[in-house]
Structure 1
Amino acid sequence: MCKNNIMKTYNRFDVCFERGIGTKVYSTDGKEYIDFVSGIATNCLGHSNPAIIETIKNQSSKLIHISNYYWNTPSINLATKLCKNSHHEKAFFCSTGTEAVEAALKLARKYGKMHGTSNKNKIIYMNNSFHGRTLGALAVTGQKKYQENFTPLMNRVINVNFNDITSIKEIFDKEVCGVILEPIQGEGGIIPAKIDYLKEIRTLCDKFNALLIFDEVQCGIGRLGSLFAYEQFNVVPDVVCMAKGLGGGFPIGAVITNKKASIFVPGDHGTTFGGNPLSCAVAYTVLTELIDGGIIASIHKKSNYLINKLKKLKEKHSLIKDIRGMGLLIGFSIDTDTKHFMNKCFEEGLLVVSAGENVIRLLPPLNVSFKEIDEALTILEKVLAKDF
C-alpha cells in the first residue's frame, strides 16, 4: 500500500484502520484497539452507530446536497432543535469547527462596525488556546508553534492570559468587538475556565458592547454532561461555535447566535456544503440520541466513575501528577514524554491523544459503557507499570 501521495500534515501511527464498532476499531491486520480518542471528541456515539447508519441510508436515498439558494427540511429541523435546546435563536451551518470560528470572527467584526466607530474591530483571544488552522482562526490561536510559519496574520487581535481577569481588564475598551475563548482549553492541556472569570468577561462584553464567543468545538455537544458547555458555567455567550460531536463522525459545523449577534444578511457569509440535507439529518439524529436517548444524562455518573478510577491509579503510580477536566473530557499530566506514553498505550491496544506539553487526553464515546471504561483503564494501568 503506497502512502506517498498523501501530504504529510500529520505524524501518524503505523496502522491503517478499516472498520469499527462502538468503542472498538480494527486495523487491516486484524488487531483490536479501544478507541479513547473518538476522532478527537468527534465520534460521540462510537463507531458504526446504528441510528447514524440508518439516517445516512434513508437521507442519501432522498437528497444529499442542494444549493443554499433553496430550503431543505433537515437543516430547518436541525436549526430548530439546536435553538430549542439553547439560549439562542439563529443557526448557521458549515462543515468544520474552523469554519464555525471563521463565521464567529466575521460576526464580531460586523457587529463592531454596526455599533461603534471604524476602529471597533479588536478581537481578544486567550494564550494557550486553539481555534483552528485557517488564517483567521490561526490568528486567534494562542500558541506560537502553530502561527510562526504563517505570519503575518490577521491584525487587531490581542492575546491575554487565560483565567487572568486583570490582564483582560487592562486592555478592554470600546474598540473591542469580540472575545473568543474555549470554556475548557482542549489542545492547550484540558484547562477549564474559572466560572467567576467567565462572568467577569460577560460583564465586560456587556459594558463595552462586544460579542462573547465560546468555541465549544471540542468541549460541547454533551461532552461535559450538558448539550452545551456553557451550561456548566452558568454564563451564556452571544455566539457558540460547534462541530466535532455534532455530526458523530460525519462532517458538520455550526454557529448559533442570540438576537444580539444574529446580524448576517445575504451576501455576508456562506459555504457550499454547509447545511446540506445529509449532514443535517445525521446531526439531528445525533442530538436525538444524546438528548432524547438519555446519553447526556448519563455523562456525570460515567465521569465520576472514570475520575475516581484515575485517582486510584494516581495513588499507585507516581507517573501521574494531576487529573483534570469535566464530563468525558478528561486529562492527566504525566512525568514522562507524552509521545512515548501514547506509543506504549498503542502497543497494548488503547488509543489516547496528548494535549499541551505533558497531558494525556481520554475522550471516549459518550455512550461508552462502564465495562469499556474498565477495559481501557486495565490497559492504562499495564502501561503505567512499565519502566519509563
Structure 2
Amino acid sequence: MLYGEHSTDALMHITQRPELVFERGEGSWLHDHQGKSYLDFVQGWAVNCLGHCPPEIVGALTAQAGKLINPSPAFYNAPMIELADLLCANSCFDRVFFANTGAEANEGAIKLARKWGQLHRQGAYEIVTFDHSFHGRTLATMSASGKAGWDRLFAPQVEGFPKAIYNDIGSVEALIGPNTVAVMLEPVQGEGGVIPAEVEFLRALRRLTEARGILLIVDEVQTGVGRTGKLFAYQHAGIEPDIMTLGKGIGGGVPLAALLAREAVCCFVPGDQGGTYNGNPLMTAVGVAVLRRILAPGFLDEVERLAAYLSERLRELAARHHLVGERGSGLLRALILDDERGPELVRRALQLAPQGLLLNSPRPNLLRFMPALNVSLAEIDLMIAHLDALLAR
C-alpha cells in the first residue's frame, strides 16, 4: 500500500493490517487518511485508558519534553519518584521497577520470583500458570502463557511453567512441589476470552500460596489502573499478592509498565535488572498524569456505572439475537456469540459507513470490548446500535 511517497512494504509483516492509515484521534474516535471516522472500542487493547490524545497526557508530554527526557536509569528523576510513590501509596506493595511493556514487566516478575526462590526456597524456580493465559511475547512470557500452539512456535520453550486450570484450586494444589516458587495469573484472562477469576478462587489461591510458602503474582497488565472499576483487580477479592505487573493503562498510550513487589520479596541486587529507557521522566510523567486522573474523586465510581450500563446493553443484545450472553469485569467485557463469526463481525464493523467501528475478537466465538474508561453513554449506545445492525444481517 502506498501512503504519500512511502510504501507499507518496508514494514515487517507481523499482522494482517487493513489498508488504512490512522492520522488523528480524540477520545473514543479515530480518523484515517481518507477522512473516515471510527468509534474505537479497542483502544489499543485497553491501552488508551483515557481515550486518544487526552489533554492530561498531551500536557504531561509537552511540559516534560521541554525539561528532561532521559538522564539514564542510573539516576533518579522527579516523575519516576512521584509515580513510584503514588503506586505504592495506593496499593499493598512497597517498591516499583519501571519498564516499557507488559511483557517486560512480566519477565521481571519471573526473574524476581526465581531470585527469591534461590534465596528462600533452595533454588525453586517453577511458576504455576494457567491454561489460556497470556503474559507476553518474550520467550519466557510465551512459555508462561497457556495460549494454544505457543509451546511449539519458538521451541524449545523456557522450562518451569506447569499449567493449572483457571478457577480450579485443586488443579493448582496438585502442581505445587519442591521446585515451585510462585503461582502467576491474570485476574481476568483477556486474550483467553475475558474470563474473570472467581473471588473465592483468588482468596483460596492466596491462602494456598501462603500455606505453602510460595509467592502469588498477579499480572494486571490489562486489568490494572481502573479497568475493572477498582484501581487494581486484585482489590475485588480483598487479598494482598506478593508481586504485581502493570502495563497498557498505566501509560495511557505511551510505552510504560511497572513491576511492583512487597518489601520481603525485593531481592534484586545491582546488576540483576535494568533497561536503557526504564523509568525515564518522559514516560513516567505521563504515568503520573494518568494515575492522578484515575484517582480523582468519583472517577472509579463512574467507571463502575459505565460498566454496569455496557453490561446491561450487551445482555439486551444477546437476548435479542439469541446469543450465549456476556461476561467480564468493569470496562473489560465480552459478548459471547452462538457461532464463530467474531472475526467477520470485526471486519464488517470496520467497513461500516459513513463511520466505522473498531472491535476485537480474541476468540472466534466472542467479541471483546475495551473502551476508554471515560467513554460516554451515548458512545456506548452508538456502538450497540451498530453491532445490533451487524448481528441482524
TM-score range, shorter chain: over 0.9
Structure 1, residues 158-180: CA drift from partner, whole Å, max 9, x if none? 11111111111112123211111
Residue 70 (str. 1) matches residue 75 (str. 2):
yes
Letter in 1 for 2:382: E
Question: Aligned runs of 1:33-182 on 2, under 5 Å?
Answer: 33-118=38-123, 120-182=124-186
Report the Cα distance in structure 2 between the residues aligned to 1:171 and 1:288, rounded to whole angstroms.
Answer: 41
Q: Is the 8 A contact 1:239 1:255 kept in 2?
A: yes
Structure 1, residues 283-316: CA drift from partner, whole Å, max 9, x if none? 0000011111632221111011111111111121
Residue in 2 that maps onto 1:363:
370
Question: Higher mean Cα deviation, 101-110 or 335-344?
Answer: 335-344
Residue 16 (str. 1) matches residue 57 (str. 2):
no
Residue 336 (structure 1) shift: 3.3
Residue in 2 that maps onto 1:324:
327
Q: For residue 10 of structure 2, give the secondary structure of its aligned residue in structure 1.
A: coil
Residue 147 (structure 1) shift: 3.3
Residue 151 (structure 1) shift: 1.1
Letter in 1 for 2:248: K
Residue in 2 that maps onto 1:383:
390
Residue 271 (structure 1) shift: 0.9
- Size of the aligned set, in residue pairs, is 384
Residue in 2 that maps onto 1:250:
254
Report the Cα distance in structure 2 between the residues aligned to 1:43 and 1:61, rounded to whole angstroms.
Answer: 23
Structure 1, residues 307-326: CA drift from partner, whole Å, max 9, x if none? 111111112112x2120101
Residue 347 (structure 1) shift: 1.4
Residue in 2 that maps onto 1:337:
341
Question: Higher mean Cα deviation, 167-176 or 46-55?
Answer: 167-176
Q: Is the 8 A contact 2:327 2:334 kept in 1?
A: yes
Report the Cα distance in structure 2 between the residues aligned to 1:244 and 1:116, rounded to whole angstroms.
Answer: 32
Q: Is the 8 A contact 2:60 2:285 kept in 1?
A: yes
Residue 50 (structure 1) shift: 0.8
Report the Cα distance in structure 1 between the residues aligned to 2:341 and 2:386, rounded to whole angstroms.
Answer: 18
Q: For residue 9 of structure 2, give the secondary structure of its aligned residue in structure 1.
A: coil
After superposition, the CA RMSD in angstroms is 1.1
Unaligned runs of 5+ in 1: none
Question: Higher mean Cα deviation, 286-295 or 4-13?
Answer: 286-295
Q: Is the 8 A contact 1:108 1:210 kept in 2?
A: no
Q: Is the 8 A contact 2:340 2:364 kept in 1?
A: no
Question: Higher mean Cα deviation, 6-15 or 62-71?
Answer: 6-15
Report the Cα distance in structure 1 between the residues aligned to 2:121 and 2:314, rounded to whole angstroms.
Answer: 50
1:234 to 234, 238, 248: 238
2:280 to 272, 276, 281: 276
Structure 1, residues 20-57: CA drift from partner, whole Å, max 9, x if none? 01100001000010000000000001011111101111
Q: Is the 8 A contact 1:173 1:208 kept in 2?
A: no
Q: Is the 8 A contact 1:95 1:273 kept in 2?
A: yes
Q: For residue 147 of structure 1, give the secondary structure of its aligned residue in structure 2.
A: helix
Q: For residue 324 of structure 2, give the secondary structure of its aligned residue in structure 1.
A: strand
Report the Cα distance in structure 2 between the residues aligned to 1:131 and 1:64, rounded to whole angstroms.
Answer: 29
Residue in 1 that maps onto 2:202:
198
Q: For residue 383 of structure 1, give the secondary structure of its aligned residue in structure 2.
A: helix
Residue 15 (structure 1) shift: 1.8
Report the Cα distance in structure 2 between the residues aligned to 1:5 and 1:188, rounded to whole angstroms.
Answer: 32
Question: Higher mean Cα deviation, 91-100 or 346-355?
Answer: 346-355
Structure 1, residues 230-268: CA drift from partner, whole Å, max 9, x if none? 111222211111110101001101011112222212111
TM-score of the superposition, structure 2-length normalised? 0.95
Report the Cα distance in structure 2 between the residues aligned to 1:41 and 1:11, rounded to whole angstroms.
Answer: 20
Unaligned runs of 5+ in 2: none
Report sequence identity in percent. Answer: 39
Residue 149 (structure 1) shift: 1.7
Report the Cα distance in structure 2 between the residues aligned to 1:142 and 1:132, rounded to whole angstroms.
Answer: 11
Letter in 2 for 1:216: E
Report the Cα distance in structure 1 between the residues aligned to 2:275 and 2:301, rounded to whole angstroms.
Answer: 34
Letter in 2 for 1:347: Q
Letter in 2 for 1:312: E
TM-score of the superposition, structure 1-length normalised? 0.97
Report the Cα distance in structure 1 between the residues aligned to 2:374 and 2:166, rounded to whole angstroms.
Answer: 31
Q: For residue 191 of structure 2, give the secondary structure of its aligned residue in structure 1.
A: coil
Residue 181 (structure 1) shift: 0.5
Question: Higher mean Cα deviation, 333-342 or 291-300?
Answer: 291-300
Structure 1, residues 59-79: CA drift from partner, whole Å, max 9, x if none? 000001111111101000000
Letter in 1 for 2:112: L
Residue 11 (structure 1) shift: 1.5
- Structure 1 residues 26 and 36, CA, compared in 2 at 3 Å: closer, same or farther? same
Any runs of at least 4 consecutive aligned residues in structure 1 with deviations exceeding 6 A, and if so which? Answer: none
2:264 to 244, 260, 267: 260
Report the Cα distance in structure 2 between the residues aligned to 1:179 and 1:336, rounded to whole angstroms.
Answer: 32
